Amino acid sequence: MKTNLTLPVCYILLIAFFSFLSGHSAKAQLAKCKGKYFGNILQYSVPSNYNSFWNQATSENGSKWGSVEGTKGVYNWTSSDLAYNWAKNNGGLFKYHTLVWGAQTPGWVASASTATLTASVQAYIKACADHYNPLGGIKMIDVLNEPVNTPMPSNLKAALTAGYKAEPANAGDLNNQYGWVIWCFQLARKYFPSSTLLINEYNVEMNWNNCRAPYIAMVNAVKNAPNLTDGRKNLIDGVGLQAHGVDNLTAANFKACIDEIWNSTGVSIHITEFDQTANPNETKQRDVYSRLIPVAWEHPHVAGITLWGYIQGSTWINGNGQAGAGGTDSGIIYANGNDRPAMTWLKSYFSGQPTLACCPAPAPFASCPGTNRSFVVRARGTAAGAQLQLRINGNVISTFNLTTAFANYTASSTATGTVRLEVTTDNGTWDVEVDYLQINGTILQAENQAVNTALYSNGRCGGGGSSQIMHCNGYIEFANTAARTFSVQEKFVDSPSERNLLNIYPNPVSNGNVTVEFYNEKEQYISIDLVTTNGRIVKKVASKKFEAGAHQINIDFAHPGTELYLVRIKKENEIITKQLLVQH
């Protein structure tokens, strides 16, 4: 009897074991070890196949203010904790969605006073930190949701504005039109100093109602605002694109949108709520996935992707409510666990993506530990107080307090991605000049880079062009550029002690007629040019052999208005440059 009972039990165990292998181990998470996150939502329970597909989780509704604080001052994190605990227990990444949103606010918000709401918003964000920080903290947060396209209740917007104006850190910019946006991020950074902080919006990809421009303006306003702790400008780490309603979005336009946001803000992009209906059929759904997912996943400035539901019958877009292939919902697997064509494509696509040997935890731009890269920045400020930041993929690696003479500033990091040198401290009188960035011994000349958003050109900051001069807040980007070793020494003349090298007067000039004095230490060929800050030659002043000794040359030129120029003298072994300000 004992033998007869044992044999069936063995068969049952074997069947269960092979079922486990076929149902789980053979279905590794789609983005496992791929270097970015590819996640989905959770609501009231964790589906049995969730671990087979996703390495990041967002609570669909459980983390929203309306769900957490239905009764004023009483916080319920149960549904939010479901997604948090799944991520914590399964090596996944949790994103909190969302701290502030004009929709899905608690019912009591509608009749609350401005003062009550100002205090309540801060209390809610603090309560969130008090709940999660002891558990290990939150890695990623949607701070503000749909600030452009979802109208903010007037009393809530007034409360956020009042909170902004009450902060001493904002005293110099009290009338900022995006103060209500900034304060949300100031509170989030105060209570979550190490979290990745995101803004989130829909319809940006299609640019419906021309919403992209104000969205970018908001991002930059937050980026340029100080935090409440030490005044650093580190309030935002990611720009969220929801990617709903992208049925007819082309791959080229999707990439152009991502490129524009990155080029305009320098802040990494997150695809936060991607979905697509099977409307009119499953082929349409598969085609949208296969057209757009590769654009986002392979873009160097996209940190990861979150799908907004995946099981037919359990997504927020139910379509015609029909089960099976005829359903027009947004699910990508059937309720029985079988794949729809879009999921079949996803599995095939991710299986072909490179896998990192070290298999890091999912995170924005995860990478394997490696040998530090060494960075040497040769730069100077025109006045004491100027700063320059070394950033990789938008993250600050080091901040340099510049002297007024050229000096070398060093740093090291294992981080990979786009490298930038950024100015965030311009006060209208401080300029920064970057000679070069050296990476592991390879020198990249600043004036050879394609992007310098800190350049004053074409009558405005960020007017385009290449230069080593940084006149405004902005950055020089050193990504994907060929290295060029520059053999001659270059001097930027500014202090009185250097006037024997190059002197210009009057400076500023109002009539376009200036005198240039310089000293030539030996007989040699010299060229003298008047150039714009992006390197365009306005006037070739001289190109000939000069005798040793002091020389004086006059430059007479027409000028349309106020503009910053450079007088550049090229000798055999050095270049001497000095700024010239022309005032109309």
- The residues annotated as belonging to the active site are 146, 273
Give the C-alpha separation, 514 to 505, whole Å.
Answer: 6
Quick one: tokens of 38?
């590819």
CB atoms within 10 A of CB 151: 11
Phi, psi of 483 (to 5 degrees): -75, 140
Q: Which of 263, 256, 264 is nearest to 296 (CA)?
A: 256
Quick one: tokens of 530?
């008047």
Query: Strands (DSSP E) along 222-372, which ranges?
Result: 238-241, 268-274, 302-307
Give the C-alpha separation, 334 to 324, whole Å.
Answer: 6
Residues in the chain: 584
- Do 471 and 455 meet the contact criterion of CB atoms below 8 Å apart? yes
Give the C-alpha separation, 459 to 6, whole Å.
Answer: 86
For residue 474, give the amino acid letter: G
DSSP assignment string, 151-173 = PPPHHHHHHHHHHHHH-GGGGGG
**H/E run at residue 574:** strand 574-582
DSSP assignment string, 488-550 = SEEEE--SGGGTTTEEEESSSBSSSEEEEEEEESSSEEEEEEEEETTS-EEEEEEEEEE-SEE
DSSP assignment string, 340-390 = PHHHHHHHHHHHTS---TT-PPS-TT-----PPEEEEEEEEESSTT-EEEE
Query: Which 3 state secondary structure label does DSSP give 416?
Result: coil
Q: Exposure pattern of 482-509 as b/e (b: 16+ CB <10 Å)? A: eeeeeeeebbbbbeeeebebbbbeeeeb
- Do 349 and 290 meet the contact criterion of CB atoms below 8 Å apart? yes
Beta bridge partners of 304: 37
Give the C-alpha separation, 495 to 492, whole Å.
Answer: 9
Give the C-alpha separation, 457 to 463, whole Å.
Answer: 5
Give the C-alpha separation, 68 to 262, whole Å.
Answer: 33
Phi, psi of 250 (to 5 degrees): -85, 160
Phi, psi of 572 (to 5 degrees): -65, -35
CA neighbours within 13 Å on the CB side: how many for 492?
24
Query: Which 3 state secondary structure label does DSSP give 473?
Result: coil
Contacts of 413 (CB under 8 A, 6+ apart): 372, 373, 375, 392, 397
Phi, psi of 126 (to 5 degrees): -65, -40
Unique residue bearing structure tokens 């004095």: 517
Give the C-alpha separation, 516 to 405, whole Å.
Answer: 22
CB atoms within 10 A of CB 233: 17
